[in-house]
């Protein structure tokens, strides 16, 4: 056990009903309304309150009885992509919020929302105030297609489109034009399928979710009847998972539209595929090639909307209408595959195909962005270079979540990689590589800095006020929640 831990074992004396430590170290209540811990407890600061931030905090707090964790978040509201990414019709996924809330309410954890790290406070300032800083600020940029016409009206990134229907304040103005019949989504991962499903989902299902009211109104008026989900490679290489594909297959009032030719050789290849890939591919083959039973056929005949996975195509150009203002279609290059399985490459055949559409949504990946010039950043991989979460050449600096690994995997993947980062940090504390013996001021000095800069943090009890307003707004109209859509609106409720 490190000397530090020994020091703390003698300090766990709390006089109930007061906010004073018997040892008389530090007394009082900090800005988040939590009783202050000791001035010489190890202080860790986490940047970002998505799954990575909360899972890192959870592991640190559970593993050591003395660590204090402060989470700084740019927005006034916590939970990152659980609030602003996960589809509104996936409420069960959002249950992780209950665990995050327990962590946030822990006596050794504090939440400071409305603090834009890199702008309101620098990483260097945080490093001076804390023994360790964990960067968990996710992947808020998006990869561009790099094709002509990308800036035409009617072309959106999935990141913005998802942000719009989920109430991300920066996407509030998007108001996408849904007056066209065909939408093309580029990319075949789970985000692409989420977008396709939301575009085609019957309104009576969506209106019982926490989708924002402006998105619900726009989707109720939407003329989109056909969604094509386009991928560079073939059925065996799609990036979505079976749950999301099954949801498309079963989506009421829709039928699949797939080209049998895209599935040449796929049935024969099934036997050699690993199990999850095999089950996914079997479902695709069944949907694309098998003659459905009577009931399913009847369902498909009645459907007013179609969706399809379109394979072996890459975007070449977004085609405009004669005024050169709006999207009128997309030119796709036809590919063939070189090699097989996951490592196969799409190679251009020289052929192209034009598809008429009024909406193009590119879902080819999120990417992390640097937020502070003092932090090493690998702009090729768009991650912070790290070794098991330890930022390279920056002692006391760590990273977790999508910033550490790149934007792949589900919340459970993020949880595991965040626990790994927390383990690295704890190992460094125990081994003395991370020196936690000098007293650090933690949130006290940062709060003073923010105060001077006119930044008013939103603490967790303020978020709970926002939360309860959103829930009661939702309840009034039969939704689980009606989100506040602007930072100003959130701050107003927080300050009441
Ligand atoms: P984020 O969740 O992005 O959290 C980063 C946080 O950092 C945000 O709160 C952000 O506001 C904050 N931040 C950014 N910059 C700053 C700054 N400068 N200062 C302070 N704070 C900052 N997984 C599932 O398991 N099931 C699903 O159904 C599912 N659906 C998804 C749908 C979409 C559209 C997307 C994109 C992902 C989905 N995922 C899903 C994956 C899951 O959301 C991620 O695994 C997870 O959110 C990554 O966590 P993170 O904490 O690294 O990033």
- Quick one: CA dihedral 224, 213, 362, 187, positive or negative? negative
Cα(132)–Cα(434) distance, integer angstroms:
8
Strands of the sheet with 305-310, listed across from one edge = 155-157, 359-362, 182-186, 226-230, 305-310, 254-256
Which comes out higher in pLDDT, residue 341 or 298?
298
Percent of the chain with pLDDT strictly greater than 90: 89
Percent of the chain with pLDDT strictly greater than 70: 92
pLDDT for 388: 97
Burial (0-12, 13-18, 19+ Cβ within 10 Å), 346? buried
Tokens representing 469 are: 């307003």
Cα(40)–Cα(126) distance, integer angstroms:
16
Ligand 1 centroid distance, CA of 294 (Å): 42
Ligand 1 centroid distance, CA of 140 (Å): 8
Is 375 close to ligand 1, i.e. is its CB under 6 Å away? no
Q: Is the pLDDT of residue 7 over 50?
A: no
Is 410 close to ligand 1, i.e. is its CB under 6 Å away? yes
Q: What letter does residue 271 receive in the DSSP assignment?
A: G
Ligand 1 centroid distance, CA of 401 (Å): 8
Which comes out higher in pLDDT, residue 115 or 2?
115
What residues pair up with 354 in beta bridges, in sequence order?
331
Is 194 close to ligand 1, i.e. is its CB under 6 Å away? yes
pLDDT band at 6 (very low <50, low <70, confident <90, very high): very low
Q: Give, using CA atoms, the residue closest to atom 47 of ligand 1.
A: 81
What residues pair up with 310 in beta bridges, in sequence order?
230
Ligand 1 centroid distance, CA of 81 (Å): 3
Tokens representing 226 are: 């056909």
What residues pair up with 309 in beta bridges, in sequence order?
229
Q: Give, using CA atoms, the residue closest to atom 37 of ligand 1.
A: 85
Encode pLDDT of 47-91 as tens digits.
Answer: 999 999 999 999 999 999 999 999 999 999 999 999 999 999 999
Encode pLDDT of 356-402 as tens digits.
Answer: 999 999 999 899 999 999 999 999 999 999 999 999 999 999 999 99
Q: Is the pLDDT of residue 302 over 60?
A: yes
Closest ligand 1 atom number to CA of residue 54: 51
Is 402 close to ligand 1, i.e. is its CB under 6 Å away? yes
pLDDT band at 324 (very low <50, low <70, confident <90, very high): confident
Q: Give, using CA atoms, the residue closest to atom 43 of ligand 1.
A: 81
Q: Give, using CA atoms, the residue closest to atom 18 of ligand 1.
A: 117
Closest ligand 1 atom number to CA of residue 83: 2
pLDDT for 323: 86
Q: What letter does residue 81 receive in the DSSP assignment?
A: H
Q: Is the pLDDT of residue 452 over 80?
A: yes
Is 162 close to ligand 1, i.e. is its CB under 6 Å away? yes
Encode pLDDT of 240-272 as tens digits.
Answer: 999 999 999 999 999 999 999 999 999 999 999
Q: What letter does residue 94 receive in the DSSP assignment?
A: G
pLDDT band at 32 (very low <50, low <70, confident <90, very high): low
Is 138 close to ligand 1, i.e. is its CB under 6 Å away? yes
Nearest to 60 by CA among 41, 82, 80: 41
Candidate from 77, 84, 138, 246 with most ligand 1 atoms within 8 A of CB, to mutate: 138
Tokens representing 55 are: 């899972």
State the number of CA atoms in the 13 A half-sphere of 360 facing the CB: 32
pLDDT for 23: 29
The full DSSP string for 289-343 is: HSPPPHHHHHHHHH-SEEEEEE-SEEEEEEEE-TTSSBEEEEEEEEEEEES-GGG
**Average pLDDT over the chain, rounded to an integer:** 91
Q: What letter does residue 172 receive in the DSSP assignment?
A: T
Phi, psi of 404, rounded to the nearest 5 degrees? -85, -40
**Packing angle of the helix pair 242-249, 275-289 (nearest 10 deg):** 20
Tokens representing 488 are: 């100003």
Which comes out higher in pLDDT, residue 432 or 342?
432
Is 461 close to ligand 1, i.e. is its CB under 6 Å away? no
Ligand 1 centroid distance, CA of 248 (Å): 23
Provide the pairing of β-strand 141-142 with 366-367.
Answer: antiparallel
Cα(445)–Cα(465) distance, integer angstroms:
26
pLDDT band at 24 (very low <50, low <70, confident <90, very high): very low
pLDDT for 2: 35
Cα(66)–Cα(21) distance, integer angstroms:
13
Q: Is the pLDDT of residue 17 over 60?
A: no
pLDDT for 320: 96
Encode pLDDT of 194-241 as tens digits.
Answer: 999 999 999 999 999 999 999 999 999 999 999 999 999 999 999 999
The residue assigned the tokens 């990273």 is 399
Q: Give, using CA atoms, the residue closest to atom 33 of ligand 1.
A: 85
Closest ligand 1 atom number to CA of residue 90: 28
Ligand 1 centroid distance, CA of 194 (Å): 15
Give CATH superfamily name and number for 143-365.
Answer: FAD/NAD(P)-binding domain (3.50.50.60)
Encode pLDDT of 458-484 as tens digits.
Answer: 999 999 999 999 999 999 999 999 999
pLDDT band at 9 (very low <50, low <70, confident <90, very high): very low
Encode pLDDT of 340-366 as tens digits.
Answer: 777 889 999 999 999 999 999 999 989
Tokens representing 177 are: 């034009």
Contact 382, 348 (CB under 8 A): no
Candidate from 46, 74, 81 with most ligand 1 atoms within 8 A of CB, to mutate: 81
Ligand 1 centroid distance, CA of 324 (Å): 35
Spell out the CATH class of 24-140+368-494: alpha beta
Which comes out higher in pLDDT, residue 11 or 64?
64
Domain residue limits, the chain = 24-140+368-494, 143-365
Encode pLDDT of 147-173 as tens digits.
Answer: 999 999 999 999 999 999 999 999 999
pLDDT for 40: 75
Nearest to 73 by CA among 135, 11, 146: 135
């Amino acid at each position: 056990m490190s000397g530090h831990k020994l020091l703390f074992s003698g300090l766990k004396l709390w006089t109930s009903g007061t906010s004073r430590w018997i040892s008389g170290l530090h007394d009082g209540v900090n800005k988040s309304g939590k009783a202050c811990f000791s001035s010489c407890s190890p202080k860790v600061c986490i940047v970002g309150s998505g799954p990575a931030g909360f899972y890192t905090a959870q592991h640190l707090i559970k593993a050591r009885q003395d660590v204090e964790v402060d989470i700084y978040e740019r927005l006034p509201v916590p939970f990152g992509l659980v609030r602003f990414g996960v589809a509104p019709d996936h409420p069960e996924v959002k249950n992780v919020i209950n665990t995050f809330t327990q962590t946030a309410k822990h006596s050794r954890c504090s939440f400071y929302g409305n603090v834009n790290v890199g702008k309101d406070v620098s990483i260097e300032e945080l490093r001076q105030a804390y023994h360790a800083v964990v960067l968990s600020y996710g992947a808020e940029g998006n990869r561009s297609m790099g094709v002509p016409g990308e800036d035409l009206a009617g072309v959106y990134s999935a990141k913005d489109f998802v942000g719009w229907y989920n109430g991300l304040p920066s996407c509030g103005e998007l108001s996408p034009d849904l007056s066209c019949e065909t939408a093309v989504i580029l990319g075949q991962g789970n985000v692409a399928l989420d977008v396709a499903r939301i575009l085609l989902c019957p309104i009576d299902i969506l209106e019982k979710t926490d989708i924002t009211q402006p998105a619900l109104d726009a989707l109720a008026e939407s003329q989109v009847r056909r969604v094509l989900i386009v991928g560079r490679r073939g059925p065996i290489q799609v990036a979505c998972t079976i749950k999301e594909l099954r949801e498309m297959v079963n989506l009421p009032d829709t039928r699949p539209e797939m080209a049998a030719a895209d599935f040449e050789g796929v049935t024969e290849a099934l036997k050699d595929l690993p199990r999850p890939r095999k089950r996914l591919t079997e479902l695709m083959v069944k949907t694309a090639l098998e003659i459905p039973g009577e009931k399913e056929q009847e369902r498909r005949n009645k459907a007013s909307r179609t969706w399809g996975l379109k394979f072996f195509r890459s975007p070449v150009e977004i085609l405009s209408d004669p005024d050169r203002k709006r999207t009128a279609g997309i030119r796709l290059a036809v590919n063939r595959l070189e090699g097989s399985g996951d490592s196969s490459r799409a190679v251009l055949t020289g052929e192209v195909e034009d598809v008429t559409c009024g909406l193009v949504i590119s879902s080819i990946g999120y990417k992390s962005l640097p937020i502070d010039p003092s932090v090493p950043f690998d702009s090729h991989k768009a991650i912070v270079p790290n070794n098991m979460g330890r930022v390279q050449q920056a002692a006391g600096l760590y990273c977790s979540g999508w910033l550490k690994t790149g934007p792949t995997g589900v919340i459970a993947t993020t949880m595991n990689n965040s626990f790994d980062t927390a383990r690295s940090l704890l190992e460094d504390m125990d081994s003395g590589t991370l020196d936690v013996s000098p007293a650090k001021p933690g949130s006290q000095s940062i709060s003073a800095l923010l105060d001077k800069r006119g930044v008013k943090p939103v603490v967790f009890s303020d978020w709970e006020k926002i939360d309860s307003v959103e829930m009661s707004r939702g309840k009034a109209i039969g939704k689980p929640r009606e989100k506040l859509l602007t930072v100003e609106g959130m701050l107003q409720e927080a300050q009441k």
